[in-house]
Structures are given as C-alpha cells and as structure tokens.
Amino acid sequence: MSTAATYWRRSAESVTAWLNRYSVDPFFRTEVNVLSLQIAFALVVLGLVGASFSLLYHDISDAIVRGIRAGLAANTPGVLGPSIVHEIQAVKSQTFLSITAVIILATILFGYIIARVTLAPARSALAAQKQFIGNVAHELRTPLSIIKTNTEVALFDKDITPDLRGTLESNVEELDRISEIINNLLSLSTLVKPERMEFSPVDLAMIAGEAMHKFSPLAKRGELQVTMRKSPDSIVWGNATALTQILSNILKNAITYTPRGGQVGITVEPAPNNEVVLRIRDSGIGIARKDLFRIFEPFYRADPSRTRGAAGSGLGLTIVSELVKMHRGRITMRSAVGQGTTVSVFFPGVAGRVVGHEADPKHAPNEIAVDFSKNG
C-alpha cells in the first residue's frame, strides 16, 4: 500500500472517530460548538470592522467633498479647511456610534447563543435525572405496597411470637419511611414542570389545621403539646396540594426533632405587604450553624449523632424551598442547638384582597391547643 493511501486511510479513520465522539459525547459536542461559535463571532467582528472601514472611507470621502463645496460656496478661502474638518468630525462621531452599537448587539447575541449551547448538556442531564428518579419511584411503589400489605396481614395472626411481631411491625415502619422517600422523589421530579401547577385562593389556616390533625398521633406518641393560633384573614394565592406538602414537611420535622414532653406552636396570621405568614416554632434539639446554611440542599442531612435515629431522605426541606419559590414566597429559619427552631414562611395574599391588619383587634388570631404531654 502506498504512503498516500495509508495517509488518507488514517485521516478517514480519524475523521470517523471524531464524528462518532461528536455524536455520542454531549460535552465534547458542546466544546466543539462553543469553539465554533467563538470563531464565528471573531469572523463576524472582523467582517464588521472591515465593513466599517469601507463605510468610514466612503463617508469621509463624501465629507471632504461636502466640505470643499461648502468652502467654495462661501467664496472664502479661509473657510475651506474648517468646513472639511467639521464634516469629518460629524462623520467620525456618527460612524463610531453605529459601529459600537453593532458590535455590542453582536456580542450580546453570540453571548446568549454560547450560554445556551454551553448549558444545554446540564439542562438535559438534570431533566433526565429527575425523569429517571420519577420513573424509578413509580416502579417501586407497587412492590412496596404489596410487601406492606402482606406484612400487615401477617400481623393479624394472633399465634405469631412476640419477637416476630416486633420484627414485622419494624418492617411496616421502614416501609412507611421508604414510601415517604418515594413520595418526596416524585414531588421533586414534578417540579421540573412547575407551569402545570394551578393556583387559586386557599385558606392557609384550614390547611394548617388539617396538617395538625394528620400528625396528632405522632405528637401523642412523643407526649408533645401542640398549639395553633390562626387568624380569620389567612387567604393566600397558592396551590392547596403544594401548601399541604409545605406544612406537612415542616410540621413533621418539628414534631420529630422535639424531645418527649416538648412544645410545638403553629401560627397563621397576616403580615405587612399583603402577605400571610406561617410560623412553626418548636422546643426541639435545634440545628447547628454549619448545618443551617445547607439545610435546603438536596439529600443533605445534619449531624447523624443528633438525629436520634429519625432517618429521612434529606429532600423534605429542599421540596419546601422549591414550592415556596413557586408561590413567590419567602422562607426564614432561625435555630440554635438545644434551643429549638422557628420556621417562618411568607406567602403573598390574593390580589385585590388586602391583608396585614394584624394590629386590628377584630383580626386578632384565634387560638386552639392540643396537649399530648399527658397520656390518657
């Protein structure tokens, strides 16, 4: 085989390998696309500069002719030079502004295109990851439900030994925990398309009451005192399902991490700037400063030595922060180790309906209390 044939064969193999990598590797494809766009941008700028010089040369020639004509028309030899200079200065200013504007617009356009191309693999990877999580969570639901049902049926047998009963009950608790993790994963995957969420006026106090009732068995097991203060003016613009999840996640954390005999307080009342605030305060173990700044990160768990075996997915507060963001609200969290935690979530009120009458006696919050600190 001749040297030329060998050279062309190796060149063809290199090109084929390069094209295969370009079609398969999204990050390599992005690198090539970004480099190509930068080269294209440089060529466009050079073209603009060349066209500008041609335009400037043409305009200056015209300016010189106009200056000469103006000087001759004035029939004064001393006016000829200043007339030419004046015309050239006018052309210079106008042409410079035009060139600057065109280059700035081209830079913005190419910058936007490059940013879109650069972030495309990350967007696709994030969407694929959340889609994968959602698909896996859906597939796990059915077998887990069957296992839990079979375990609960086995518990109806009165002849099983105490040790086996304890094992089966522990399995049911773990299955419930896995189900909660799956529900959080599904919620996280649905946040990919927030535009599907429908908003309407919602009574936040009513949802808080429902969440309080839902977790009353958990509070009773911990012998906690749970109180709620609610205002009649507590209508927010939101999604009822999402608000329920926000309340459930925050309230469950408060109950879970409050020692036996502690207190959990829920407040729903108007706030300034046409907002309604949900505030959940507990006397729990608190959160360390180093953990507080990362508490909304996905899958982040605080120091395991302080969780007292209260395992979780690390997704609850991440979902809360995303849902609050979708409601155009804001969330604050204050905590100290051994002194409890206070979570405040501010939601916008309904447009055209003014809230924020917290100083008016007729809008004073009502208070209810449920005390689980004593058995019986």
CA distance 366 to 236: 18
Stretch 337-356: mean pLDDT: 80
pLDDT score for 323: 87
319 Cβ partners below 8 Å, 6+ apart? Answer: 184, 187, 188, 191, 245, 249
Sign of CA dihedral 280, 283, 289, 295: negative
pLDDT score for 75: 60
- Domain extents for the chain? 3-127, 137-190, 199-371
pLDDT score for 305: 47
Give the pLDDT band (50/70/90) at residue 352: low
Q: Which regions of the chain does DSSP assign to beta strands (E)?
A: 200-203, 225-230, 235-238, 263-271, 275-282, 330-336, 340-348, 366-371
pLDDT score for 1: 52
106 Cβ partners below 8 Å, 6+ apart? Answer: 41, 44, 45, 48
* Tokens 């191309």, located at residue: 117
Stretch 99-124: mean pLDDT: 82
353 Cβ partners below 8 Å, 6+ apart? Answer: 201, 235
pLDDT score for 281: 93
Helix (H, G, I), strand (E, B) or coil at 329: coil
Flag whether pLDDT at 327 surpasses 80: yes
pLDDT above 70 as % of the chain: 74
Q: What is the mean pLDDT of the chain?
A: 77
**Token couple for 101:** 């504007």
Transcribe 119-185 into DSSP letters: HHHHHHHHHHHHHHHHHHHHHHHHHHHHHHHHHHHHHT-TTS-HHHHHHHHHHHHHHHHHHHHHHHH
**Token couple for 242:** 């999402």
pLDDT score for 369: 38
Highest-confidence segment of 114-123, 207-216, 297-306: 207-216
Domain 199-371: CATH superfamily, name plus number: Histidine kinase-like ATPase, C-terminal domain (3.30.565.10)
Stretch 74-86: mean pLDDT: 57
* Tokens 């395992």, located at residue: 311
pLDDT score for 86: 61
Flag whether pLDDT at 282 surpasses 80: yes
Q: Which residue pairs, CB below 8 angstroms and at least 24 apart, start in 72-77?
A: none
| Across 40-54, 107-121, 258-272, least confident range | 40-54
Flag whether pLDDT at 307 surpasses 60: no
Stretch 10-14: mean pLDDT: 79
| Across 42-56, 65-79, 114-128, least confident range | 65-79
pLDDT score for 72: 63
| Across 6-10, 83-87, 147-151, 210-214, least confident range | 83-87
Give the pLDDT band (50/70/90) at residue 89: low
Q: Which of 41, 59, 66, 64 is nearest to 98 (CA)?
A: 59
pLDDT digits (tens, 9 = 90+) for 113-167: 888 888 887 778 777 777 777 777 778 888 888 888 888 888 888 888 888 888 8
CA distance 328 to 237: 10
332 Cβ partners below 8 Å, 6+ apart? Answer: 343, 344
Flag whether pLDDT at 349 surpasses 80: yes
Give the pLDDT band (50/70/90) at residue 77: low
Pairing of strands 275-282, 263-271: antiparallel
Of 265 and 133, the one with more pLDDT: 265
Pairing of strands 235-238, 330-336: unpaired
360 Cβ partners below 8 Å, 6+ apart? Answer: none
> Taking the mean position of all CA atoms in its chain, how far away is CA 144?
30
| Across 254-268, 296-310, 342-356, least confident range | 296-310
**Token couple for 209:** 């009451």
**C-alpha torsion 166→172→175→179, nearest 10:** -150
Of 79 and 87, the one with more pLDDT: 87
Task: Tell me the one-letter amino acid at 274.
Answer: N
CA distance 26 to 6: 31
CA distance 211 to 209: 5
Give the pLDDT band (50/70/90) at residue 368: very low
Q: Which of 331, 335, 297, 326 is nearest to 314 (CA)?
A: 297
The continuous run of DSSP H or E covering 4 comes out as helix 3-24
